[in-house]
Amino acid sequence: MNRKQFLTGCLTGAVAAGCSAWGYSWLAKPEEHVPRNTVGLQPVKDFNQVETEILYLASLAPSGHNAQPWVITVNSHNHWMIGSDRSRWLPVVDPENRELVLSIGAFCENLAAAANSYGYAAEFNPVGSNGFSTQLVEVCLSKSRENIGSDQALRGRRTIRKQILANPIGDEDLRYLMGSQSDGMTFHPAQSREGIYLRQATLAANEAQLASDAAQAELAEWIRWKAEEAKEHGTGLTPESMEMSGVIRWLAKNFLTKKDVMENTFRKETLKLVREQVENCAGWLLVRSAGQGLASLLQAGRVLEAAWLRAFEKSIAFHPMTQILEEPALKSALAREFEDKNIQFIIRVGYVRQYPQPVSIRLPLDRMIKSSQP
């Protein structure tokens, strides 16, 4: 083993393990402020400032591997169609585009909330037949009487993987979190029978995916280790969004490659991190759909995102861990255990002492918008 191989092996293990605050404190250095890029706020042709802001806030919705699959076709002023970009699909872990449709639903919820905050109302009409349809949702905006709500949660919401507390979520906060959609969501404390099942099954699902070269290769394609890659693509996972910090983040940015994600060291250390994560949370949130059709999946995505925005206000972290739903055998077992075939999200949740700044990269608006006019 040469010097480079030795250093890469050590670094890969440290990075995959997530460089937890207590595990690698000796490598830490003062944290730099790395806010989410605001390239999406650049002016867009034929859009006024308010319309640009609404679409930018909508684009802050979550998606698998931060692929941001949405594409907006502009039919006319305040009349848009939402579809997807095939190059941003995840065919290995999401072969039926189920998660894609859910992320489009989250995008719609963000768009509705953003429109309200600027004094508009958004009306949505599902138009596709399934997740592979060219167009999925029709959107019409109309001016309402007054601004409703704030965009603070839209701008601040993010995925949080680390330092989630095991403290029980208070009854009042839980009721607020569930909102009026309690029929579509259930919460299971970490130490309940259901919580223990979800912890064990999530670990098993991650183990299965880490053993899959295809799933690992797909993940590797969406990691942007270097700043140049992040700027070029505007999508994917970065060392910042994976919550690396200090020297570990610097080393990852300068030395790791896609090939390293395929190494056994990376896989083994990732599994150790997952085991630590599932052992540390307040519980698990399940989000259900009314059925398996397009409209039902879009609505489930909206329900999840609305709850996530409320969670931000209470400093409650959301960490989607949906690997169970991506492994057919484990998904079937989950449906039997909970007597429900329509579970669409599995979210690890818990309080955080301080809600961190969002850092995920975003696709520039001019790369997600196209005109229907020739």
In the prediction, which pLDDT does 11 show? 57
Alpha-carbon gap, residue 132 to 83, rounded angstroms:
9
Residue with token string 């005109």: 371
What the block records as the tokens of 371 is 């005109």
Question: Are residue 250 and residue 210 in the same domain, yes or no?
Answer: yes
Q: Is residue 266 part of a domain?
A: yes
Determine what percent of the chain is predicted with pLDDT higher than 70.
87
The helix or strand, by DSSP H or E, that contains position 137, with its residue range, turns out to be: strand 135-143
Question: Are residue 194 and residue 108 in the same domain, yes or no?
Answer: no
Question: Do the Cβ atoms of 140 and 78 come closer than 8 Å?
Answer: yes
Question: Are residue 92 and residue 106 in the same domain, yes or no?
Answer: yes
Q: Is residue 34 part of a domain?
A: no
pLDDT surpasses 80 at 52: yes
Residues whose CB falls within 8 Å of the CB of residue 174, separated by 6 or more in sequence, listed in order: 187
Q: Is residue 33 part of a domain?
A: no
Question: Are residue 184 and residue 302 in the same domain, yes or no?
Answer: yes
Q: Is residue 108 part of a domain?
A: yes
The pTM score is 0.91
Q: What is the CATH number of the domain that holds 130?
A: 3.40.109.10
Band (370; pLDDT cuts 50, 70, 90) = confident
In the prediction, which pLDDT does 48 show? 85
Residue with token string 């579809």: 83
Question: Are residue 218 and residue 333 in the same domain, yes or no?
Answer: yes
pLDDT surpasses 50 at 22: no
Q: Is residue 82 part of a domain?
A: yes
How confident is the model over 127-141, as pLDDT tens digits?
A: 999 999 999 999 999
Question: Are residue 184 and residue 298 in the same domain, yes or no?
Answer: yes
Question: Do the Cβ atoms of 126 and 136 come closer than 8 Å?
Answer: yes
pLDDT surpasses 80 at 231: yes
Alpha-carbon gap, residue 2 to 97, rounded angstroms:
43
pLDDT surpasses 80 at 29: no
Question: Are residue 174 and residue 322 in the same domain, yes or no?
Answer: yes
Q: 148: how many CB neighbours lie within 10 A of its CB?
A: 14
List beta partners, residue 348.
Answer: 284, 319
Question: Are residue 65 and residue 125 in the same domain, yes or no?
Answer: yes
Q: Is residue 208 part of a domain?
A: yes
Write the DSSP string, 184-232. Answer: GEEEEETTSHHHHHHHHHHHHHHHHHHT-HHHHHHHHHTB--SHHHHHH
pLDDT surpasses 50 at 161: yes
How many separate helices (H) and strands (E) can be counted in the chain?
Answer: 14, 9
Alpha-carbon gap, residue 299 to 305, rounded angstroms:
10
pLDDT surpasses 70 at 19: no
109 vs 146 pLDDT, higher one: 109
Q: Is residue 363 part of a domain?
A: yes
How confident is the model over 318-334, as pLDDT tens digits?
A: 999 999 999 999 999 99
Question: Are residue 332 and residue 200 in the same domain, yes or no?
Answer: yes
pLDDT surpasses 90 at 15: no
Alpha-carbon gap, residue 261 to 355, rounded angstroms:
28
Question: Are residue 197 and residue 144 in the same domain, yes or no?
Answer: no
Question: Are residue 344 and residue 255 in the same domain, yes or no?
Answer: yes
What the block records as the tokens of 274 is 């997952």
pLDDT surpasses 60 at 23: no
- Total tally of structural domains belonging to the chain: 2
Band (237; pLDDT cuts 50, 70, 90) = very high
Q: What is the CATH number of the domain that holds 218?
A: 3.40.109
Question: Are residue 18 and residue 82 in the same domain, yes or no?
Answer: no
Q: Is residue 80 part of a domain?
A: yes
- Residue numbers of the domain that contains 258: 3-28+161-351
pLDDT surpasses 80 at 26: no
pLDDT surpasses 70 at 33: no
